[in-house]
């Protein structure tokens, strides 16, 4: 490859970063990184109503959470409009574009005719060769592209292979509207050229646009970038991913407690493969990624698999990292201001907690007991478990544990086992009421870890709160 690879992600701001868009961005980013090139971001914000600052910020926020920040400045398409208009003028000057004065009625008639003949509406070229001196008075014209009408166009797509379209399928698309504003089709091509994009990697819903865009590039004498149209993401039922399948925005996955590196790993595997490898680091993905590994058929979103991968990343993660990640979830769950003391406790409990949780939300739920205030509110199962026998047992446990000299996991283990033997109870029969009293629920990390992390004073107080002499 002679020139440096430049890819771009070109989302239209719609309020969130779509999960499919995130995967496109990831593929663009990986391809650029793999080839030592650049990954750029262009926000296609020409639709003034939808393109709010909030919507733009949501895209940047989602990309930064996933670690997919662009190289160089973000390009805002709306800021390039004067230049797009200028290019339309150049096309007019070169004879590759012309003014069209068709009225609304004439266009409606064309549409009607197409409908009657059961074919898609195509502009019939009324003004393609007509002399502009025949232009009606007072009609603001649109500018149309003079598309080739004969022959065919072939795109050697890096994912779809060679795709050919007959040129008579393309009508003369509008480049500038009657109010002088450029259309999406013109803007995309001009921006891709200006940004020096060498590889356009995007959803295959844009494949048809590629043929129109191809001719715009060549009419301007610009090099046509390579195309790679990646299949869209489908839901588990095989239909195009939509709201009814679940969350669409990356922010929602973040709120559901997925780690960004796990979501990223999952998304790379969605439509691209490297043998049977399921779990790999970003560095490995950069090393392995190439467009020839992209699968041609639509990928199905599999929530169970995502959860599985997330669970794996959680178990492998550093305790301190998970503590940092889970604190906002814990605050949301409990309303308690999680101070540094709690963070230290959380960190200590993490080895036991992370084994059981598949998401940060689950992790926060299982860590709730750490920040709970005495006397603890017991959940239904814990309440049921703490019958009067169990409560009197707890009173005896308090006495037994009160005598432990060193509050360590080993000596607590020793003391509780000795207590069980003396009471002729299986270990579980001792551990269960303890867990209920210490955590307010019947699941928790190992009981010695719980005792140890809570500390002597808090543990004995929580047990005493539930004990009956
Ligand atoms: N803005 C378009 C979209 O969000 C993408 C355009 C492109 O990638 O060429 O679908």
pLDDT tens digits, 3-26:
899 999 999 998 899 999 999 999
Establish whether 381 is a catalytic residue. no
pLDDT tens per residue across span 432-453: 999 999 999 998 888 998 999 9
Q: Which atom of ligand 1 is nearest to the CA of 209?
A: 9
The CATH architecture one would assign to domain 250-370 is Orthogonal Bundle (1.10)
189 lines ligand 1 (CB under 6 A): no
356 lines ligand 1 (CB under 6 A): no
The alpha carbon of 374 and the centre of ligand 1 are apart by a number of angstroms equal to 54
Nearest CA to ligand 1 atom 3: 11
Q: Which residue has the tokens 């979103």?
A: 301
The one catalytic residue in 48, 104, 118, 243 is 243
pLDDT at 152 over 70: yes
The alpha carbon of 9 and the centre of ligand 1 are apart by a number of angstroms equal to 8
Confidence of residue 1 (pLDDT cuts 50, 70, 90): very low
Query: What does pLDDT average to over the chain?
Result: 94
Query: Tokens representing 110?
Result: 């064309």
Secondary structure tally for the chain: helices H, strands E: 19, 12
Distance of CA 16 to the CA centre of its chain: 9
210 lines ligand 1 (CB under 6 A): no
pLDDT tens per residue across span 86-109: 999 999 999 999 999 998 889 999
The alpha carbon of 216 and the centre of ligand 1 are apart by a number of angstroms equal to 17
44 lines ligand 1 (CB under 6 A): yes
Query: DSSP string covering 140-204, please?
Result: PPEEEE----SSEEEEEETTTEEEEEEGGG----EEE-TTSPBPHHHHHHHHHHHTT--EEEEEG
| 273-299: average pLDDT | 93
Q: Which atom of ligand 1 is nearest to the CA of 213?
A: 9
Distance of CA 346 to the CA centre of its chain: 28
Residue (of 18, 40, 22, 30) closest to 225 by Cα position: 40
Q: What does the pLDDT read at residue 356?
A: 85
Indicate the angle between helix axes 360-371 and 447-454, nearest 10 degrees: 60
CA angle 344–346–350, rounded 5-degree value: 120
Element (H, E) at 54: helix 53-65
Q: What does the pLDDT read at residue 39?
A: 98
Q: Which residue has the tokens 């230290």?
A: 344
Nearest CA to ligand 1 atom 7: 10
> Would you tell me how many other CB atoms lie within 10 Å of the CB of residue 183?
18
Helix (H, G, I), strand (E, B) or coil at 69: coil
Q: What are phi and psi of 162, to 5 degrees?
A: -85, 125
11 lines ligand 1 (CB under 6 A): yes
8-state DSSP, 442? S
Domain 380-466 CATH assignment equals 1.10.10.350: yes
pLDDT tens per residue across span 244-264: 888 899 999 999 999 999 999
Range from 171-175, 217-221, 449-453, 462-466 carrying the lowest mean pLDDT: 449-453
Residues of CATH 1.10.1160.10 domain(s) within the chain?
250-370
Query: Tokens representing 280?
Result: 């790999």
43 lines ligand 1 (CB under 6 A): no
Q: What is the CATH number of domain 80-186?
A: 3.90.800.10
Nearest CA to ligand 1 atom 4: 11
Q: What does the pLDDT read at residue 2?
A: 55
pLDDT tens per residue across span 361-417: 999 998 999 999 999 999 999 999 999 999 999 999 999 999 999 999 999 999 999
Nearest CA to ligand 1 atom 6: 10
Q: Which residues pair with 200 in a beta bridge?
A: 227
Rounded-to-integer distance, Cα 169 and Cα 357, Å: 54
392 lines ligand 1 (CB under 6 A): no
The alpha carbon of 189 and the centre of ligand 1 are apart by a number of angstroms equal to 11
Q: Which atom of ligand 1 is nearest to the CA of 192?
A: 9
12 lines ligand 1 (CB under 6 A): yes
Confidence of residue 120 (pLDDT cuts 50, 70, 90): confident
188 lines ligand 1 (CB under 6 A): yes
Long-range contacts made by residues 279-288, C-beta under 8 angstroms, separation at least 24?
A: 279/309, 279/312, 279/313, 282/67, 285/30, 286/30, 286/33, 286/34, 287/34, 288/34
The alpha carbon of 106 and the centre of ligand 1 are apart by a number of angstroms equal to 30
Residues of CATH 3.90.800.10 domain(s) within the chain?
80-186
Q: Which residue has the tokens 């969130």?
A: 16
206 lines ligand 1 (CB under 6 A): yes
Q: Which atom of ligand 1 is nearest to the CA of 44?
A: 1
pLDDT at 74 over 70: yes
pLDDT tens per residue across span 154-213: 999 999 999 999 999 889 999 999 999 999 999 999 999 999 999 999 999 999 999 999
Give the contacts of 445 (CB within 8 A, at least 6 positions apart): 349, 351, 352, 353, 355, 356, 366
Rounded-to-integer distance, Cα 291 and Cα 296, Å: 11
The alpha carbon of 134 and the centre of ligand 1 are apart by a number of angstroms equal to 37
Residues of CATH 1.10.10.350 domain(s) within the chain?
380-466
Residue 374, preceding bond cis, omega within 30 degrees? no
The alpha carbon of 203 and the centre of ligand 1 are apart by a number of angstroms equal to 8
**pTM reported for the whole predicted model:** 0.91
CA angle 385–388–393, rounded 5-degree value: 85
Query: Tokens representing 109?
Result: 């008639």
């Amino acid at each position: 490859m002679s020139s440096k690879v430049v890819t771009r992600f070109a989302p239209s701001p719609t309020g969130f970063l779509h999960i499919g868009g995130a995967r496109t961005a990831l593929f663009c980013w990986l391809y650029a990184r793999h080839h030592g090139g650049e990954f750029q971001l262009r926000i296609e914000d020409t639709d003034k109503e939808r393109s709010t600052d909030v919507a733009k910020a949501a895209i940047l926020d989602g990309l930064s959470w996933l670690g997919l920040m662009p190289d160089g400045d973000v390009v805002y398409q709306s800021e390039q409009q004067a230049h797009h208009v200028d290019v339309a003028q150049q096309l007019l000057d070169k004879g590759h574009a012309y003014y069209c004065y068709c009225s609304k009625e004439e266009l409606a008639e064309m549409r009607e005719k197409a409908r009657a003949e059961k074919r898609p509406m195509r502009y019939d070229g009324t003004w393609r060769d007509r002399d502009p001196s025949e232009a009606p008075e007072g009609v603001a014209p649109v500018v149309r592209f003079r598309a080739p009408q004969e022959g065919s166009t072939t795109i050697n797509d890096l994912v779809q292979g060679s795709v050919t379209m007959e040129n008579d399928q393309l009508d003369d698309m509008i480049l500038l509207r009657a109010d002088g504003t450029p259309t999406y089709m013109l803007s995309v091509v001009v921006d891709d050229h200006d940004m020096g994009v060498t590889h356009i990697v995007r959803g295959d819903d844009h494949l048809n646009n590629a043929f129109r865009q191809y001719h715009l590039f060549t009419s301007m004498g610009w090099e046509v970038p390579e195309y790679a149209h990646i299949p869209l993401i489908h839901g588990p039922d095989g239909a195009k991913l939509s709201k009814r399948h679940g969350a669409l925005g990356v922010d929602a996955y973040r709120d559901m407690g997925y780690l960004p590196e796990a979501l990223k790993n999952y998304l790379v595997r969605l439509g691209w493969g490297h043998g049977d490898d399921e779990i790999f680091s970003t560095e490995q993905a950069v090393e392995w990624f190439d467009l020839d590994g992209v699968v041609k058929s639509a990928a199905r979103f599999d929530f169970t698999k995502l959860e599985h991968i997330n669970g794996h990343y959680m178990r492998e993660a550093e305790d301190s990292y998970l503590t940092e990640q889970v604190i906002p979830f814990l605050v949301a769950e409990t309303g308690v201001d999680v101070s540094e003391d709690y963070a230290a406790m959380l960190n200590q409990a993490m080895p036991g907690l992370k084994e059981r949780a598949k998401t940060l939300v689950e992790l926060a739920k299982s860590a709730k007991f750490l920040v709970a205030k005495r006397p603890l509110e017991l959940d239904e199962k814990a309440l049921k478990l703490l019958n009067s026998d169990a409560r009197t047992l707890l009173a005896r446990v308090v006495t037994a544990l009160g005598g432990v000299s060193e509050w360590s996991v080993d000596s607590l283990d020793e003391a509780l086992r000795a207590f069980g033997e003396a009471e002729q109870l299986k270990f579980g029969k001792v551990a269960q009421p303890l867990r209920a009293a210490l955590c307010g629920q019947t699941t928790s990390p190992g009981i010695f870890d719980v005792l140890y992390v809570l500390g002597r004073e808090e543990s004995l107080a929580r047990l005493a709160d539930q004990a009956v002499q």
